[in-house]
Amino acid sequence: MKCRARRFLFPYVYGCHKDLRKCEIRYVIIDKVIRLCLDYGKKKERRTVMAEPKKDYLSSLASEIEKKPDSFKEEKVERIVKPKRSLDPKIMIGAAAALIIAIIGVYFLFFAPKIKVENFVGKTTNDVGIWAKENGIDTKNIVMNQVYSMDYDADQIISQNKKEGSKIKKDSTLIFEVSKGADPDEKIDFPDIKSMTLDEINDWISKNKLSKVKVNTVYSDTVEKDQVISFDLKSVNENNFTRGTNLTISVSKGPQPAGEVTVDDFVKKEVSSAETWAKSKKVELEIVEVYHDTIATGLVVSQSIESGKTMKQGDTLTLTVSKGKAVKVPQLVGYTKDQLEAWAANKENAVSIVKKEVYSDAPAGSVISQSIKAGSQVDSGTVLELTISLYMPQLQTNSREYLGKDYLALNAWVDDVNYRGASITAGAWDGEECSDEYPTPGQIISYHCMANDGTDLPHGCDRPLPLNAKIGYKKSTGGCTPKPEEPKEVQIGLTPLGSEAAMKSFCDTNKLACSFNYVSDSAKNGQIKVTKPDGLEVVPNDKFKAGDALNIEVYYDPDKLNAPDSNENKNDGTQNADEGSPAAE
């Protein structure tokens, strides 16, 4: 009997010949599934088609011969139908599900990736090899692509194709990018080696990863210590210097030490005398500065090798030198102004105090912070920064201080106090309106002081304000009553200045306050003289506007009867009508 499940199982079996263990497991599973199919088929009831009972062959043949042949007689053919075997769908579904579960189980048991990848960036290829060996990974599946790199030393991993934490099989391919170090053929700017010190040369070598540069240190009586004596580039030109070029640099170690010297006594002596001695004896000198209460600044407190003992030339003698008496900085925070002044007045506290005043809720004049930690010891003259409290800002000393002032003046006051530690805000939160009392746009009409939450302060703006107070004001947009139009200026010409009548017309037309005075003068008969209140004579093109005052002197001949008649005021020095003017006649 054939089981239909075989057609589904064939792909599962195909290809397993590469791994005999896999084949063995898969065939066991398949065999169980097929047996389930066969057992079920045997139990099914077979369907059959009943045929007529068989007759004796000879009898049948004889009876057939006796029959007349009849070509048109219908022949009957019976077909035996064998019953079809079919499986119950539930069995098929169950078998398929069991097969899938079995396959999944086998996959995760034997074939699922299990090896967790590490992060090898920055590690060496040897680290990768050790990890691969521990996890049973064939090194044939590991690919190392080598590239030049300035950031990674030779043989260090730069990148990997599998992320850290991902899982792989033993036969998975791992690709790594490995550094070959810096490119030896890359051109490098060749510096002025002769002017460089040993530290500068080492920095240059390290920065450019110059593995072919060799530095030799030698004694020299002519070249100072750590200075370059010579360098050798072989046959390469400085302009063609590359990272792989061989370069040898000779650096001086200074004069070669010779023999031993006897150490002098330098205690309580100037350090300069020890420096002179050390130079002459070819001895290195190290200076360590310490505070000392009794030994003055610059004098030697102690020496590492006692006087009278010997030391080799080139060795180091350490001298401890006094920095003088230390200034001990106390806890100054909380000091009042008087306490701080008393402390600073003490000669032993010889520091340079720099004060910075800020607004705070601490009492005015008290110290609220210090730049040097309490308990520290410092040199004389050290700068000590102290922050001094100004207390809280005071806006005004009278209730109308900012009324009528430009609102920018109030904003400037706010900026100043905020620069000194406050956080006050101000704005035209009460709006704007016209005002005849404060007709200039921007003038403050009213203002009030509030707490940070917007509630008015009990004492208004008269007391010191909280550091985060708010100031609201109303500012003027200009006067409410329109201003009268300014009179226009007019320019006087030659005509008004030429006759009395023309001048009167000019004064009346332009609403000038003109005063006419008549002066008896036969030589100037008919002439006029116009002057301003300050006595200056009016000339053509002078400008005037309504209301301006002018004095006009009119000259006439008393011997003629056609002298002018006027009711205007006369000057004290001129003839009036009662003194023989033409009008009086």
Which residues are CB-neighbours of 235 under 8 A, at least 6 positions away? none
One domain for residues 311 and 279: yes
One domain for residues 333 and 318: no
Which residue, 322, 347, 362, sits at the end of a domain? Answer: 322
**Is residue 396 domain-resident?**
no
**Is residue 74 domain-resident?**
no
One domain for residues 299 and 377: no
One domain for residues 521 and 416: no
The pLDDT of residue 423 is 94
**Is residue 66 domain-resident?**
no
CATH number of the domain enclosing 246: 3.30.10.20
Q: Which of 220, 305, 298 is nearest to 256 (CA)?
A: 220
**Is residue 185 domain-resident?**
no
Which residue, 476, 501, 525, sits at the end of a domain? Answer: 476
The predicted-structure confidence for 13-57, as pLDDT tens digits, reads as follows 444 544 545 555 555 566 666 676 566 555 544 444 444 454 555
Q: Which of 312, 313, 198, 317 is nearest to 253 (CA)?
A: 198
One domain for residues 88 and 130: no
One domain for residues 92 and 25: yes
One domain for residues 316 and 421: no
Structure tokens at 143: 């690919």
Number of separate domains in the chain: 7
Structure tokens at 146: 């080598």
The predicted-structure confidence for 74-103, as pLDDT tens digits, reads as follows 555 566 655 655 656 767 777 777 777 766
Domain boundaries, position 440:
407-476
Where would I find the H helices in 312-370?
A: 337-345
**Is residue 571 domain-resident?**
yes
Complete DSSP assignment for 474-541: EEE-S-SSPPPPPPPEEE--TTGGG-HHHHHHHHHHTT-EEEEEEEE-GGGTT-EEEE-TTSPBP-TT
**Is residue 58 domain-resident?**
no
One domain for residues 102 and 27: yes
Collapsing DSSP to helix, strand or coil, 118 comes out as coil
Q: What is the mean pLDDT for each group of 10 consecutive residues in the chain (585 residues)? A: 46 49 58 63 47 52 53 54 61 73 59 77 90 86 89 89 87 90 87 90 90 86 88 82 89 80 91 90 90 88 90 90 88 91 87 92 92 88 92 89 94 94 94 93 94 92 93 94 80 82 90 91 87 90 90 86 46 38 35
The pLDDT of residue 571 is 40
For residues 387 and 6, give the distance between their C-alpha atoms in angstroms, rounded to a whole number: 94
One domain for residues 107 and 119: no
